[in-house]
Structure 1
Amino acid sequence: MSEGIDYGKLMHRAMRGLIQEVLTGVQKNGLPGEHHFFITFDTSHPDAELADWLSDRYPEEMTVVMQRWYDDLDVTDEGFGITLNFGDAPERLYIPYDAIKTFVDPSVEFGLRFESQDDDDEDDGPEAPDDGPGGGEPEHRDAEVVSLDRFRK
């Protein structure tokens, strides 16, 4: 017999579906206008893939920026692969949706936060950041590691 409806888990699944839909659109058409994303993820997630030097430097979590330079965006049902530039060193990453902790588009003050990576504990909903930096140039996209603390309430 079921214990009830787990709205938190259902909401997080829907939020991850929204991220997948947004990234699928970017894969097909590029980033429109001033849109850009700060994506914080759990680097210790068993399905996350990143260079050893990045996982050594960021053993728990890391924030990447999809803005001016990115390449080979490959969106799947489980996550996405992307090549980002870290100080003129392109690196391939694979980020499972389950590893995402925050997804923020500061150009429109939109953000999602996942309080727990454990599906049984997920119960937080979407949250908008206070403010964000200006947008970039859609033709040339850069990645950088930043802290989202300045965007949290």
Structure 2
Amino acid sequence: MSREIDYGNLMHDAMRGLIRKVLLDVADRGLPGEHHFFITFDTSHPDAELADWLSDRYPGEMTVVMQHWYDGLDVTEEGFSITLNFGDAPEPLYIPYDAIRTFVDPSVEFGLRFEQQENEEADKSETQDLEPEPQPDVPDTPKEAKSKDAEIVSLDSFRK
């Protein structure tokens, strides 16, 4: 049996580690300058925690914005919890890193997108199909925050 280096999953882990490090810094020192995040995640992930009315409204995935007001950011090895405002109603969320589909910081045109493989290995691992895409359409978000395209890091050169 031959063994191969799984570059896709190694990059996947590294990119989720990058998100964790960014969030740890924000938890310690706050959001610097104009930085803010659009985070899209799988609301049906078994470890994701959100209010029933949010999971009913967003049964597949949801994009949240971490910008002007957030509270209780707690970053762990597996995910992070945060309280965000939804129409003047603060709601706690827990988002596991492996539920994240996109992580975008439009202030510096940076973004990561994680997609599941379409084949039978989809249950075992995820890979990145990293193409530029429009900013998420998030209600109650200033238009200037959505005006820049994110720079997407391509991993295609590492795939067989």
TM category, shorter: 0.7 to 0.9
CA contact (8 A) 2:109 2:149 kept: no
Counting only pairs closer than 5 Å after superposition, residues 66-77 of structure 1 correspond to structure 2 as 66-77=66-77
Answer with 1 or 2: which has the greater Rg. 2
Distance 1:92-1:131 versus aligned 2 partners, 3 A rule:
closer
CA contact (8 A) 2:73 2:80 kept: yes
Distance 1:130-1:91 versus aligned 2 partners, 3 A rule:
closer
Bigger relative contact order (CA 8 A; separation at least 6):
1
Q: Which residue in 2 is equivalent to 1:123?
A: 127
Counting only pairs closer than 5 Å after superposition, residues 87-126 of structure 1 correspond to structure 2 as 87-116=87-116, 118=122, 120-124=124-128
Q: Which residue in 2 is equivalent to 1:53?
A: 53
Measured against aligned partners, the alpha-carbon deviations of 1:41-75 in whole angstroms (never above 9, x if no partner) come to 00000000000000000000000000000000000
Aligned length: 141
Q: Percentage identity across aligned positions?
A: 72
TM-score of the superposed pair, with normalisation by structure 1: 0.81
Distance 1:128-1:90 versus aligned 2 partners, 3 A rule:
same
Distance 1:95-1:82 versus aligned 2 partners, 3 A rule:
same
For structure 2, list consecutive stretches of 5 or more residues without a partner in the other structure: 153-160
Q: Which residue in 2 is equivalent to 1:62?
A: 62
Measured against aligned partners, the alpha-carbon deviations of 1:6-59 in whole angstroms (never above 9, x if no partner) come to 111110100000000000000000000000000000000000000000000000
Q: Which amino acid aligns with 1:123?
A: T
For structure 1, list consecutive stretches of 5 or more residues without a partner in the other structure: 133-142
SS at 1:26's partner residue? helix
